[in-house]
Amino acid sequence: MSSLLQKIPLIGKEIPWLNDVRQKGAEAFAKTGVPTAKTEAWKYTKPRELCGDDFVIKQSKKDSDWKADLPFEAYQIRFENGYFCPQESTLPQGVEVVPLIEAMLFHPEVWKHLCKMADINKYPFAALNQSYLNEGVYIRIEKNVELKKPLVIISHTTPGEENLFFNLHNLIVLEENAAATLVEYHTWSGEVKSRYFANLVNEIYLSAGAHLEHIKVQAEAFKANHVALSVVAANKDSEYKSFCLQRGANIGRNETLVKLQESGACAEVNAAYIMNGWATLDTTTDIEHLSAQTTSHQLVKGVIGGDAKGVFQGKIHIAPNAVKTEGNQLHKALLLSNTAEVDVKPELEIFADDVKCSHGAASGELDEDQLFYMRSRGIGLEEARQILIDAYLEDVIGKIKHEGIRNWVEKEAK
């Protein structure tokens, strides 16, 4: 049994129905356990390594004087070592941000979606997360409200003496025709004295006509583990547009499951990963076209150096009768060293005929001719390589609509 499943007193443990929910998560995780290399969904990312160390679940908050320095205006939500830290920003009308534990106890409407969107029997780490259901945030954007400034969820960790393990669970609900930009920023400061393991679940519910742009930057400490699952339910004519940059962590996995469940729903799931050292960065997507006239686009680009390993698993599923759908996907990887590795599994699963689906995957190295061209013009090798890498990533990062965020991500990607 993994040390990840520990008995710790959580808030609300005396409430039977809340205990039940957590218990279900614990049971589901105990049944599957930590996935092995034989688990198809974890084939290329070594989950055993994720859980190799003893992790400790901290029960006390620790404030830090670290300040996020974001070059764009935003409403901030902060988590420090996995605990919610109240912030002093005032939210506009029509937006509600409530700590998860408070929402679970006093906003019964959250139970319409909370822990309902992903099948925990299929996602062991989501099951584990559910067994610790406590920390996180509930965000609700009211009908027809369009949020001008982005909402930023910052998860900041200060690695301490012990290997820290924390779980965050966010529920984001956009009501009819609401629109918002959500940024997730996972970062750290201090000294890397220990490993830590962040296990995250986002449940995102988009009502008819809602629009969400979801940008994530994973810049965890190089010894950290980061496992995240975002589940999105997109209803009629809603739009989910996401971009995830992974550039930190020892093992990082960002998994996105989008359910396009009503006609007109569309999703754009883009990602980039940049890595060195011994890291394994995994981008996994599963786009389910469950209704007719739904569309999805994916573009994922990776830059892999050192002894690192990049993993991309992308699936497009078209349900029977989900006709007039369009799904496409492209993954490209750039290998910078001879010990780098990339493992790709793009998958199409199609049960309807009137569809247009495609996927493409390519991998290669930097073009020698282009490098030579620049070097012959007096640009140093390192600089020339950087220019080529920046240009290579430009088209995927360029898909971020919000200009301030785009510039910030470009800097983060360097």
Partner 1 sequence: MNKINSIEDEAGDKYKYGFVTDIASETAPKGLNEDIIRLISAKKGEPEWLLDFRLKAFEFWQTLSEPTWAKLKYDKIDYQDLSYYSAPKQKVAPKSLSEVDPELLATYEKLGIPLKEQEALAGVVAVDAVFDSVSVATTYRAKLAEKGIIFCSISEAVREHPDLVKKYLGSVVPYTDNFFAALNSAVFTDGSFVYIPKGVRCPMELSTYFRINAKNTGQFERTLIVADDESYVSYLEGCTAPQRDENQLHAAIVEIVVLKDAEVKYSTVQNWYPGDKDGKGGVYNFVTKRAACRGANAKISWTQVETGSAVTWKYPSCVLQGDNSVGEFYSVAITNNHQQADTGTKMIHIGKNTTSKIISKGISAGFSNQTYRGLVRVSPGADNARNYSQCDSLLIGATCGSHTVPYIENRNKSAKLEHEATTSKISDEQLFYCQSRGIGEEEAVSLIVNGFCKEVMQHLPMEFAIEAAKLINISLEGSVG
139: Cα within 13 Å, side-chain hemisphere: 28
Q: Using CB under 8 A, which of 110, 272, 340, 389 touches partner 1?
A: 340
Q: Does 345 bind partner 1 (CB under 8 A)?
A: yes
Rounded CA gap, 75 and 81, in Å? 20
On the CB side of 241, CA atoms within 13 Å amount to 16
Give the contacts of 344 (CB within 8 A, at least 6 positions apart): 311, 312, 313, 331, 333, 361, 363
Site string for partner 1, 6-25 (x = CB under 8 A): --------------------
Among the listed residues 114, 357, 396, 405, the single contact to partner 1 using CB under 8 A: 357
Length of the chain: 414
- The nearer residue to partner 1, 134 or 313, going by C-beta atoms, is 313
Asked whether the beta carbons of 340 and 308 are under 8 A apart, the reply is yes
Q: State how far the Cα of 123 lies from the Cα of 127, in Å rounded to an integer.
A: 6
Name the one range near partner 1 by CB under 8 A: 28-36, 331-339, 371-379, 395-403.
Answer: 331-339
- Assess 275 for contact with partner 1 (CB under 8 A): no
Is position 281 an interface residue for partner 1 (rule: CB under 8 A)? no
Which of the 8 DSSP states describes residue 90? Answer: P
**Contact (CB, 8 A) for 321 and 289:** no
Q: Which tokens is 34 given?
A: 């930590």
Stretch that binds partner 1, among 10-18, 95-103, 155-163, 342-350 (CB under 8 A): 342-350
Distance of alpha carbon 55 from alpha carbon 390, whole angstroms: 37
- Residue 260 as a binder of partner 1 (CB under 8 A): the answer is no
Q: Which of the ranges 102-110, 198-206, 241-249, 340-348 carries the binding residues for partner 1, by CB under 8 A?
A: 340-348
Q: Kindly tell me which of 159 and 302 has the beta carbon lying closer to partner 1.
A: 302
Tell me whether residue 131 or residue 363 sits nearer to partner 1 (CB atom): 363
Considering CB under 8 A, how many residues would be counted as binding partner 1? 37
Which of 7, 14, 17, 40 is close enough to bind partner 1 by CB under 8 A? Answer: 40
Mapping DSSP to helix (H, G, I), strand (E, B) and coil, where does residue 157 land?
strand
Closest Cα to residue 57, out of 88, 28, 82? 82
Q: Rounded to the nearest whole angstrom, what is the least distance from the CB of residue 40 to partner 1 in the complex? A: 7
Closest distance to partner 1 from the beta carbon of 236 (Å): 22
Q: Distance between CA atoms of 117 and 271, rounded to whole angstroms? A: 22
Q: Is 338 in the site for partner 1 (CB under 8 A)?
A: yes
**135: DSSP letter:** B
Q: Which stretch binds partner 1 (CB under 8 A): 169-177, 319-327, 380-388, 402-410?
A: 319-327
Among 102, 343, 390, 410, contact with partner 1 (rule: CB under 8 A): 343
Smallest gap from Cβ 272 to partner 1, in A, equals 18
Residue 323 binds partner 1 (CB under 8 A): yes
* Helix residue ranges, H only, 217-320: none
In the structure, how many helices (H) and strands (E) does the chain have?
7, 19
Burial class (CB in 10 A: 0-12, 13-18, 19+), 157: buried
3-state SS, residue 158: coil
The correct pick among 354, 383, 394, 395 for binding partner 1 (CB under 8 A) is 354
User: Can you tell me which of 71, 190, 360, 380 binds partner 1, judged by CB under 8 A?
Assistant: 360
Give backbone dihedrals phi and psi of 392, rounded to 5 degrees, phi first: -65, -40
Q: Is 390 in the site for partner 1 (CB under 8 A)?
A: no
Among 30, 91, 361, 379, binds partner 1 (CB under 8 A): 361
Residue 46 makes contact with partner 1 by CB under 8 A: no
37 binds partner 1 (CB under 8 A): no
Which residues form the interface with partner 1 (CB under 8 A)?
A: 40, 44, 320-321, 323, 333, 335-365
